[in-house]
Amino acid sequence: MTSQSAATLRSRYVVQAASDLEENRRLQQELTERIKVLQQQEALLEDILSLAQRYEGFADPSRLPEQMQDEPVVAKSKPASGAASRRSSPARTARAGRAGRAGRAAKAGAKGTSRQPLLGDLLAELLGQYEEPRRAKDLRDELLEKYPDRNPTPQVVRNTLESLVAKGRIRRHKQQRSVMYTLVRPGEAATGDAG
């Protein structure tokens, strides 16, 4: 091999290595942007899960946060910060389209599954078994015993009971520092706090 052909071969390797390095850095930047998008989606999904758990007991859909029931969740995600968010690449648009389709598919799948009874209905059913007022804690304990697949927090149970009071389905009783609840029977009028 001549020194000229060796120099040509070396220059080709240098050009190829520089090209490969540039491609590697471009891919790293693309993956970094993708990780940011995935982290934002994760935070959004965690927020949705938290909201779903908080509003689990509300029987009235109008009491849910200001989001239309059929509105895709992906549309509410915040764009990535920086220059990457200001330009809309075809890959980003395709990812957003796939995420929207995935959300609609999950919603369609959820419609096909049987729904659990609402927490408010279960609590009203439990209250209907008693003539005397019951504390929220006792109702929650009984709910956990009868329905082990349901695990609402004490706050969710109290919120649900208060929403039933607001709807006139149950009555609130205050005894010293305790708040207790009874079911409003057909023909009775719910009068709010009883003493």
Domain boundaries, the chain: 3-112, 119-194
Residue 185 is predicted with a pLDDT of 84
Residue 170 and residue 164 in contact, taking contact as beta carbons nearer than 8 Å: yes
What is the rounded CA–CA span in Å between residue 98 and residue 85? 18
Report residue 17 as tokens.
């290595």
Residue 166 is predicted with a pLDDT of 93
Q: Is 0.75 surpassed by the pTM of this model?
A: no
Residue 103 is predicted with a pLDDT of 55
3-class secondary-structure state, position 183: strand
The one-digit pLDDT tens for each residue of the chain (195 residues) are 788 888 898 999 999 999 999 999 999 999 999 999 999 999 888 888 888 887 776 555 555 455 444 444 444 444 444 444 444 455 555 555 555 555 555 555 555 556 788 999 999 999 999 989 999 999 999 999 999 898 899 999 999 999 999 999 999 998 888 899 999 987 765 455 555
Report residue 62 as tokens.
């109008």
**Architecture of the domain made up of 119-194:** Orthogonal Bundle (1.10)
